[in-house]
Amino acid sequence: MIKSHSQSQSALYQQLFGLSPTRADQKKLEIIKAALLVIHQSGFASLSFGTVAKVLKMKAPHIVYYFPSMEALLQMVIRYVTITAQETTIRLLKEARSPREQLVAFVRGSFDHVRENPPHKSAIAAFYLECVRLKEFQLLHKQIRKMGAERVQAILASQHPHMAKRDLAFLSSAIQALITGYLVEGITTGQSTSNMEHLLIKTMKTIERLVESVSKGKI
């Protein structure tokens, strides 16, 4: 069953703000989307309360009322991007009919997400940049990767029920690193949609060879 736009929006609000989103939460989401637009159109260095306020035709102090610091705003931007990416992946996983199709769906989710949401590419790049210096962002990144690793490990376990846990853990970590590496390559080199599809295929082939090597005890 495909969710309606209103159902999807309701689910998004719940994941971002809790079970009972308020009118203030709706305004926060508007600010988050405006910040995404600023990052995408003018670069991360241009992100400020003033530039976000300009997009929304508001005054900067109104933005500060909802987000007391730029770090707090950017954290919510990344949460929004992450939730959107997860929704894309979950949609693809629901269509998968076998463990292999599930693995392909998991990998494709990251690539389809940036294809469907071009402004999110800039936010992802900004997030990695901020992870270098801010512990809060490093912690958020670890949480995101932990969720992904658990999902990959469950898929691999159903595909290879006799594989040792240490091999499953190794593969789940390696697969995430491969996805991130190829995705960032595509984002930071301005690849076209068709070239991003080639990177997706390249990522999947590399992952399948790695999984085969581990399952045969070659690694």
Angle between helices 99-116 and 165-188 (to 10 degrees): 30
| Cβ contact 202:181 at 8 Å | no
SS3 state at 1? coil
* Confidence (pLDDT) at 5: 45
Q: What is the pLDDT of residue 65?
A: 95
With a cut of 50, say whether residue 162 has pLDDT above it: yes
| Domain enclosing residue 54, as ranges | 5-215
Report pLDDT for 170.
Answer: 96
Output the CA–CA distances (angstroms, integers) from residue 65 to 1, 48, 53, in the order listed: 39, 14, 12
The whole model's pTM is what? Answer: 0.83
What confidence category does residue 134 fall into, taking pLDDT thresholds of 50, 70 and 90?
A: confident
All residues at 6 or more sequence positions from 170 whose CB lies less than 8 Å from its CB, including other chains = 214
Cβ within 8 Å of residue 184, ≥6 positions away? 124, 125, 128
Confidence label for 2 from pLDDT (cuts 50, 70 and 90): very low
pLDDT score at 61: 94
Residue 11: its pLDDT value, please? 58
Q: What pLDDT, on a 0 to 100 scale, did the predictor assign at position 219?
A: 77
Least confident of 11-15, 66-70, 200-204: 11-15
Give the helix/strand (H/E) hosting 36.
helix 23-42
Tell me the two tokens of residue 172.
Answer: 């789940």
At residue 13, the pLDDT reads 52
Cα(187)–Cα(140) distance, integer angstroms: 21
What pLDDT, on the 0 to 100 scale, is given for residue 1?
A: 42
22 vs 197 pLDDT, higher one: 197
The pLDDT assigned to 209 comes to 95
Q: What is the CATH number of the domain that holds 9?
A: 1.10.357.10
Mean pLDDT across the stretch 171-181? 94
Burial class of 52 by CB neighbour count within 10 A (0 to 12, 13 to 18, 19+): buried
**91-130 tens-digit pLDDT:** 999 999 999 999 999 999 999 999 999 999 999 998 898 8
SS3 content of the chain, % helix, strand, coil (to 5): 80, 0, 20
Q: Count structural domains, the chain.
A: 1
